[in-house]
Chains A and B, each alone.
Chain A
Amino acid sequence: MSSSHSQSVEVHEEGVKARVGLWLFLLSEILLFGGMFLLYSMYRYKNPGDFHAGSMELSRFDGTLNTLVLLTSSLTVVVALHSLHVKRNKRRAAIFLGATIALGLTFLVVKSFEWTAKFEHGLYPGAKFLESQPHGFILFFGLYFVMTGLHALHVIIGMAILSFVLNFVLRDKVTADRINIMENGALYWHLVDIIWIFLFPLFYLIS
């Protein structure tokens, strides 16, 4: 029928529109973090030694673990998308979406252990110990907490979005033919992942 055809064209157009909008939004997110990367590069350029000393205080094991967790979560979200879009397997899509959210949660748990350890060592803004350190060292931890904190906030938002998507998948509001919400949720999740890919070497692997 022509009406069902025009309907599917409309659904397609809505999908393209939503994707254009989301890419613009991702661009603005990148610039949001861009402001802080600018601060980071200036302060690191001015205080290379202190930044190295600060980096030595971070747990490379935790950082590497979290990098692997987030990379895996990017894989699972793509598998979920593929399962629904190509294989039309709703159950598998739901399982992999659930896995993605669980990996996000794992990331946050590891992160909270890391932060707690820093707090115990007096390595947080306003702590007496940190204030007594050289300027570059203070700045390193100031930036560390703001940047990883803002990133963690994005992880939480991403998990909330994926939970909505999961809910939609289970209730058949997102299907193989109406997939754009899920696609966009996955794109957002990739952004969260990519930002971490930059944060990890900048904070954990300075030499």
Chain B
Amino acid sequence: MDEHGGGVAHPHNHYPWYTNEGKRAGLRGFLTSTNHKRIGTLYLVPILTFFSVAVILGVLMRIQMLSPDSKFLTGTRYNQIFTLHGVIMIFLVVIPAIPTIFGNFFLPILIGGKDMAFPRLNLFTWYLYILGAFILLVSLLTGKGPADTGWTFYVPYSLRTTVNVPWAVFGVFILGMSSILTGLNIVTTVHMERAPGMKFSRLPLSIWGIYATAWVQVLATPVIGITMVLILVERFFGIGVFDPTKGGDPLLYQHLFWIYSHPAVYIMILPAMGIISDIIPVFSRKNIFGYKTIAFSSLAIASVGSLVWGHHMYVSGQSNTAGVIFSLLTFLVAVPSAIKVFNWVATLYKGSIKMDAPFLYALGFIALFSIGGLTGLILGALSTDVHTHDTYFVVGHFHYVIFGGMGFGLFAALHYWFPKMFGKMYNEKTAVVAFIVLFVGFNVFYMTILILGWAGMPRRYYSYLPQFTDLQRIATWGSWIMVGGLALMFGNLLHGLFRGRKAEDNPWGGATLEWQISSPPAEHSFAETPVVTHGPYIFPDRTSDGNGNGDGAKEKHEQQPQSKR
């Protein structure tokens, strides 16, 4: 990297981060760069591509469901498609998306640091991600085709099926390593790279979310790593640990799988919650309500959320005592989630709200995540779960939480930070229209899925009883509206990228550090290391923070005359 002393003006420092000069030229300049902004972008492109692929797979499934005797897909093909949809969405999109794209691009900027703690490891992590994705691709195209086990790879079926499970499992293992190293880098960065004055109590809440997530990535991911290795060893050497004919217990596989995969749900949702907590105050022109409770609820979700995995296994044959304990803990984890929702709504109260696109997506998040959370309580209760287990109700619940939550959080972040990242503005009106179409389509689709599940439609079936025909069709039509909204949204962003007008440095009036630097940021974000003197949501144009809390708010008030809104 360029070394330079202080004092003299450095022309290269004014180039935007994606500059094409000298050794930073072209694709090669990207693929060998350890700059966190470039690596964030390196993740952005494949993740959005994989997202589109998985959406198309989802559309194929919905087309199959247009009629009960549809011949569009065979049973095996349908199994392979829902497995692929799940594996791509979970391991290639939802888990890595926010920590890698926005964690890389904005974490160092938001804490006033130079870069991630380990820039070279960071680039290596990206190559691991691409390697994992490539191996998954190999599993598609070789042998007897992609896995048909569902993304959960449950034994003993995953040991017996002749399709390409080993490659898929190995790909997940590599992606897990990539995820661990991402988490390791983020935890170290938050501890070691903060600017002077950036106390933990002044971290933007998006950073709290990503930080809590990073701990889960480091501590939970190794468990799925070893579980995937054990599937491989079991398939190739027959050691017996998951094979009932040799005394192995498939239930233990489920335990190991969910010890990772339930916390993984929080890897998915926590960063999105953090970003929503950043966006809401900016568009309400008001300090966040309950900064500390939001920050600590992230840690509480991360820790309690690691102890609730058994709620995926109520009907698996685990003991009733275990079921009761897991159910209790599941209800407990709803508390910090609800705290966040209440705090967001309380922040809106008496705010002077601007209805821009990022804010609409944030509102969409709150609405959809709440529905997802409440249906989660129905599934978390032992008695109701027995009836709704393995039905469309679970599918609906999960998509409300992860697509309505993490997905809308991702879209909110994209619209919020797009002008900063690329220095261009998208069309605001189109963004709003796209949001409305997406939101309507989403609810027509997934609300119908919830109703179908409540009526008894089991998941993962490629056919159904004739009485479900009408609802299945409505769901499919809803999915088309939703995909239309997605296409409009991405089209609008792409149009903005190439044709958009130039963005201002601080289009939303944000108070966090990224808005103090140019749009797009220079290769080295800060000309001088910033000194932080107050919390992240103290807006100069507002003389009252509305709640009377938040670090540094009080000192600010004393200096400025109070005025009535």
* B247: interface (CB < 8 Å): yes
Q: Which residues of A contact B268 (CB under 8 A)?
A: none
Q: What's the least CB distance linking A92 to chain B, in Å?
A: 31
Q: Which residues of A contact B180 (CB under 8 A)?
A: 25, 28
* A38: interface (CB < 8 Å): yes
Secondary structure dominating the interface of B: helix
- Whole-angstrom CA separation of A133 from B417 in the bound complex: 62
Closest A residue, CB atoms, query B253: A39
- On whether the beta carbons of A21 and B117 are closer than 8 Å, the reply is yes
Q: Which residues of B contact A135 (CB under 8 A)?
A: 240, 246-247
- On whether the beta carbons of A136 and B230 are closer than 8 Å, the reply is no
Q: Which residues of B contact A150 (CB under 8 A)?
A: 229
Interface residues, chain B, CB within 8 Å of chain A? 117-118, 121, 180, 183-185, 187-188, 191-192, 218-223, 225-227, 229-230, 233, 237-241, 246-249, 252, 255-256, 259
* A168: interface (CB < 8 Å): no
Given contacts A21-B184, A39-B241, A139-B246, contact A146 B230 (CB under 8 A): yes
| Residue in B222, B237, B252 whose CB lies within 8 Å of A32 | B222
> Which chain A residues in 25-50 approach chain B with CB under 8 Å?
25, 27-29, 31-36, 38-39, 42-43, 46-47
Q: List 12 A-B contacts (CB under 8 A).
A: A13-B192, A17-B117, A20-B188, A21-B118, A21-B184, A27-B219, A39-B241, A39-B256, A139-B240, A139-B248, A142-B248, A150-B229
Q: Which residues of A contact B237 (CB under 8 A)?
A: 125-126, 145
* A191: interface (CB < 8 Å): no
- On whether the beta carbons of A31 and B246 are closer than 8 Å, the reply is no
Given contacts A21-B118, A142-B241, contact A28 B185 (CB under 8 A): no
Q: What's the least CB distance linking A204 to chain B, in Å?
A: 19
- On whether the beta carbons of B219 and A138 are closer than 8 Å, the reply is no
Q: Which residues of A contact B185 (CB under 8 A)?
A: 21
Q: Which residues of B contact A206 (CB under 8 A)?
A: none
Q: Which residues of B contact A179 (CB under 8 A)?
A: none
- Whole-angstrom CA separation of A40 from B499 in the bound complex: 60
Q: What's the least CB distance linking B176 to chain A, in Å?
A: 10
- On whether the beta carbons of B241 and A139 are closer than 8 Å, the reply is yes
Q: Which residues of B contact A143 (CB under 8 A)?
A: 239, 241
Q: Which residues of B contact A145 (CB under 8 A)?
A: 237, 239
User: CB-defined interface of A2-16 with B at 8 Å, one 1/0 digit per residue?
Assistant: 000000000001001
Interface-centre pick from B219, B226, B227, B229 (highest chain A CB count, 10 A) = B226
Given contacts A28-B180, A125-B240, contact A146 B233 (CB under 8 A): yes
Q: Which residues of A contact B240 (CB under 8 A)?
A: 125, 135, 138-139, 142
Given contacts A47-B247, A142-B241, contact A17 B219 (CB under 8 A): no
- Whole-angstrom CA separation of A178 from B119 in the bound complex: 19
- Whole-angstrom CA separation of A171 from B184 in the bound complex: 30
* A24: interface (CB < 8 Å): yes
- Whole-angstrom CA separation of A35 from B255 in the bound complex: 10
Given contacts A21-B117, A135-B246, contact A35 B188 (CB under 8 A): no
- Whole-angstrom CA separation of A156 from B255 in the bound complex: 30
Q: Which residues of B contact A35 (CB under 8 A)?
A: 222-223, 226-227, 230, 256, 259
Interface-centre pick from B241, B249, B256 (highest chain A CB count, 10 A) = B241
Given contacts A47-B247, A139-B247, contact A42 B222 (CB under 8 A): no
- On whether the beta carbons of B246 and A17 are closer than 8 Å, the reply is no
- Whole-angstrom CA separation of A7 from B433 in the bound complex: 54
Closest B residue, CB atoms, query A134: B247
Closest B residue, CB atoms, query A20: B188
Interface-centre pick from B219, B238, B240 (highest chain A CB count, 10 A) = B240
- On whether the beta carbons of A24 and B241 are closer than 8 Å, the reply is no
Closest A residue, CB atoms, query B223: A35
Closest A residue, CB atoms, query B192: A17
Q: What's the least CB distance linking A130 to chain B, in Å?
A: 9
